[in-house]
Amino acid sequence: MASALQFTAISGAHSEEAVCYLLEVGDAKLLLDCGSFEDYSGEGLARLQRVARQVDAVLLSHPDMAHVGAYPLAYSKYGLKCPAYATQATHMMGRLCLQDVVRTLTAREDFTQFDESDVDAAFENITALQYAQPKALAGRHADIVVTAHAAGHTIGGTVWTISSGGETVLYALDFNHMKEEHLNRTSLMEGAQGKVSARLMKPTLLITGAYTALHRVPPRRRRVECFLDTVARAVRRGGNVLVPVDSAARVLELAYLLNEWWARDKARRDTHALCLLAQCSRKTRSFAQSLVGWMGGGVEAQMADRDAKPFDLRHVTAVQSIEELDRKLGGDSRARGRQRHAVVLASLEGMSGFSQDLFVRWAAGKKNVVILPQRGPPASLARHLYKRWWDRTQALTVKKRVPLEGAELEAWRAQERRRQEQEAARDALLKRKRDMLDDDDIDLETERLLSGQTYDLYVRGRGPVRGLYLVSKSYCMFPFQEKNRRSDDYGEIYDLETYMIQPDADADEGAHLLDAAAPDADKPYESDAARPESRPTKPVEKERRVQLNCELAFVDMEGRADGTSVSNIVVQLMPKRLVIVHGTSASTAALADFCRDPTVEVTKEIYTPAVGEILNVSSGVNVYRMRLADALVKHVPMTAVRGCMAGFVSGRVSFSHEDQTPTLEPDHAELSNAWCPPMLVGDPRLSALRTVLVRQGFAAHFDSEGTLVCNNAVAIKRASSKRTKSDTIKILGAPSPDFYSIRSVVYAHLAAL
């Protein structure tokens, strides 16, 4: 039978929170995205924790917090150990995004949800895929095949198709139908003249979002011009520009756009610096250069014209702390004798990291500009500025770490001394006579004896009988452990250090000098804030009121299809059922009302689930799995239809006690006198058939009743078949050469079985 489909929204329904959904295909449970913003709060995480251990596979769509933010937490703390799938670019940039968030939060507060080792362990569990690569799930759910298609919103962003039996689920959130500077448009729009790709049409279930359903944006060219003009005004009047961005996804588009614009004018390079400020900004540049194959054709064409490095952001300076930014500007100012300003792409997009620090510093300057390229997460400072842009006094909470002083410092030192003493004792316990003992012969009791903490080994023995019970008794014995010397097959004692390659001192010194001259992006500590400090710190929070004297602008550079485009794409996809999520209640209702309009040719099975609501979205068609006998298959004529081979079979179903899968055997009695009318498989649209006939040289036109008339001798019309319960084609006309020629063209176009 067809697989039963159930859909549950864990978070991201009737709201703009991070997305996480549970799709049940038969007895398999698939987690569609696993997002959370940097505050890591809300009921969504509690619901995720309840279902994490039941999930069979995870599909990740985009390398940003809204789609992968909670994955390390669920993997390390919630037991989400099942296989995960993502594109290679999402795998690399998603890990980088979370590393940046962990370092940012750790530098400002006591962040204990997970650490960088948890991020690395979680992303090592991900299977990296390419676009259009079908992948069967591992284990007992091998009948489910997932395929990644380009979304266009972020590098490696994915629109997923999930196929099982006769069911196809299309999961399409956050896609972009327009080509950008470094990305091509989504695979949904691979058809000619703005049409949807035929291979993704008519899914059993379409899961899409209403995030932009109420938004209508100008053409992309005008938005890019507005963004660059706003930056240019601030540069001309000698002000600073702050652009809050994420650290691994949409930042690439803005950095590439500004880098190309920066290269056209040397004057602005003398007065302003173009900087990317993030905890992992150097890794962002290096990773992006290795992922050029995931970018659009425009980047590759420019590389060929200029003979330059891939995605070479030569005018973008990567800095990883506020102190490094100050040194960059201060050093240049001393060299030129004047103060230098900056255009800074700063993380995080919600303005809770470096972007908040620069906002506090630059908000009071009348020459400065803060440009919001996206609305930001809900309840963030960026979203507050977007909604209340007229409020010139902004209240915000500033989090930072300050050094310990006085009694707090002394208490920390005492605790640190105790910890070091305990670690030293434990290390000595494990190291003592380790080189003379085999690892397999060391147990906890022996280690305790070797440490000198005790000198007796208590061995339990059988005691005297008192009444009806044996009394256990312990005997004090002198401890002894036989020392097993390590030896090879010939009995000779070997020393591992003899065979170890000693490092070259000159090479080490040269490498040390090279590292000192050029900071490496892969060092464990990439910023001043992330390096271990000799003096301990503690997190503090301070409420501040910031006077907003600078210019505040919003230019939509989110890279998402707007409401009109989303509506048109949904109509062209022609899904059998539609689930709308990821949007406010108003935007969700707007998209649902549009689809429910009787004049709109789209399914009327539309669902707008609330968080936690379980939907049964199974189809009413039963699909059965059976094995075809070899004797039956070799007599079936096969016809190519849209890249597949189709044929008409008729036989008798037989069952075996050894195998639960039924077998379709040929029925010789029926085949001797069986006949069935031909079945046409393909696209029965007469308009497409007319185009094919005109190309073959026939005169074809439609009459007033919609019948296709060919050479004024043959009529072709659509009719409903009672046997197949679907549309079919009827060819009417007297037998003639034109009739048989036209019939041959129709059969070739529609494939008669």
What is the reported pLDDT for 63? 94
CA distance 393 to 389: 10
Does some domain include residue 436?
no
Asked whether the predicted pLDDT for residue 201 surpasses 80, the reply is yes
Dig out the tokens for 726 from the structure. 């679907």
Contact in structure between 145 and 129 (CB atoms under 8 Å): no
Q: CB count, 10 Å around CB of 424? A: 10
Asked whether the predicted pLDDT for residue 485 surpasses 70, the reply is no
Does some domain include residue 233?
yes
Residue of higher predicted confidence among 427 and 154: 154
What are the C-alpha distances in Å from 256 to residues 234, 286, 289? 19, 14, 12
Q: CB count, 10 Å around CB of 120? A: 13
What is the reported pLDDT for 506? 46
Domain count, the chain: 3
User: From start to end of 26-81, where are the E strands?
Assistant: 28-32, 57-59
Does some domain include residue 703?
yes
Mean pLDDT computed over every residue of the chain: 81
What is the reported pLDDT for 167? 85
Average pLDDT over residues 547-553: 91
Q: Is 493 helix (H, G, I), strand (E, B) or coil?
A: coil
582 φ/ψ sector (left φ>0, alpha ψ -120 to 50, else beta) = left
What is the reported pLDDT for 199? 86
Q: How sure is the predictor about 492, in pLDDT bands with cuts at 50, 70 and 90?
A: low
Does some domain include residue 686?
yes
Whether 569 and 597 map to the same domain: the answer is: yes
Asked whether the predicted pLDDT for residue 645 surpasses 60, the reply is yes
Average pLDDT over residues 197-215: 90
Does some domain include residue 500?
no
What is the reported pLDDT for 512? 42
> What's the burial of 674, exposed, middle or buried (CB within 10 Å: 0-12/13-18/19+)?
exposed
Average pLDDT over residues 644-655: 79
CA distance 8 to 615: 6
pLDDT tens column, 28-56: 999 999 999 988 888 889 999 999 999 99
CA distance 387 to 16: 14
Contact in structure between 76 and 121 (CB atoms under 8 Å): yes
CA distance 54 to 123: 19
* Domain's final residue, options 530, 554, 578: 554
Whether 128 and 250 map to the same domain: the answer is: no
User: Which residues are bridge partners to 277 per DSSP?
Assistant: 319, 346
φ, ψ dihedrals at 468, nearest 5°: -100, 5
Whether 127 and 235 map to the same domain: the answer is: no
pLDDT tens column, 254-298: 999 998 888 888 878 888 889 999 999 999 988 988 888 888 867
Asked whether the predicted pLDDT for residue 479 surpasses 60, the reply is no
> DSSP letter at 378?
T
Whether 384 and 330 map to the same domain: the answer is: yes
Whether 574 and 706 map to the same domain: the answer is: no
CA angle 716, 722, 724 (to 5 degrees): 85
Asked whether the predicted pLDDT for residue 420 surpasses 60, the reply is yes
User: Which residues are bridge partners to 460 per DSSP?
Assistant: 474
Using DSSP bridges, classify how beta strands 369-372 and 551-554 pair: parallel, antiparallel or unpaired.
parallel
- Percent of residues, the chain, with pLDDT higher than 70: 78
Range(s) of the domain holding residue 345: 220-404+541-554
φ, ψ dihedrals at 250, nearest 5°: -70, -15
pTM, rounded to two decimals: 0.73
Dig out the tokens for 380 from the structure. 């963030």
Does some domain include residue 485?
no
Whether 237 and 189 map to the same domain: the answer is: no
Asked whether the predicted pLDDT for residue 513 surpasses 50, the reply is no
pLDDT tens column, 718-753: 776 555 555 677 888 888 888 888 888 887 777 666
What is the reported pLDDT for 679? 67
Does some domain include residue 513?
no
Whether 210 and 228 map to the same domain: the answer is: no
Q: Report the CATH number at residue 355.
A: 3.40.50.10890
Asked whether the predicted pLDDT for residue 453 surpasses 80, the reply is no
558 φ/ψ sector (left φ>0, alpha ψ -120 to 50, else beta) = alpha
Q: How sure is the predictor about 26, in pLDDT bands with cuts at 50, 70 and 90?
A: confident
Q: How sure is the predictor about 395, in pLDDT bands with cuts at 50, 70 and 90?
A: confident
Q: Which residues of 151-169 are buried (b: 16+ CB within 10 A; e: fewer)?
A: bbbbbbbbbbbbbbbebbb
Dig out the tokens for 711 from the structure. 């050479």
pLDDT tens column, 321-375: 999 998 888 754 444 445 678 999 998 898 888 999 999 999 998 999 999 999 9
Asked whether the predicted pLDDT for residue 635 surpasses 90, the reply is no
pLDDT tens column, 651-664: 888 887 777 678 88
Strand order, beta sheet including 158-164: 135-136, 145-150, 158-164, 167-172, 205-209, 578-581, 606-607
Dig out the tokens for 392 from the structure. 């010139």
Q: Report the CATH number at residue 184.
A: 3.60.15.10
CA distance 594 to 265: 47
Average pLDDT over residues 187-203: 81
CA angle 63, 66, 70 (to 5 degrees): 90
Whether 232 and 342 map to the same domain: the answer is: yes
User: Which residues are bridge partners to 543 per DSSP?
Assistant: 397
- Radius of gyration (C-alpha) of the chain in whole angstroms: 34
Average pLDDT over residues 228-239: 92
What is the reported pLDDT for 680? 65
Whether 340 and 367 map to the same domain: the answer is: yes
Does some domain include residue 298?
yes
Q: How sure is the predictor about 1, in pLDDT bands with cuts at 50, 70 and 90?
A: very low
Whether 38 and 158 map to the same domain: the answer is: yes
Dig out the tokens for 672 from the structure. 């001797």
- Percent of residues, the chain, with pLDDT higher than 90: 37
Whether 631 and 568 map to the same domain: the answer is: no
Asked whether the predicted pLDDT for residue 690 surpasses 50, the reply is yes
What is the reported pLDDT for 528? 41
What is the reported pLDDT for 442? 46
* Domain's final residue, options 616, 644, 659: 616
CA distance 342 to 229: 16
* Domain's final residue, options 596, 616, 636: 616
What is the reported pLDDT for 688? 78
Whether 68 and 184 map to the same domain: the answer is: yes
> DSSP letter at 528?
T
Q: Is 730 helix (H, G, I), strand (E, B) or coil?
A: strand
Average pLDDT over residues 659-673: 70
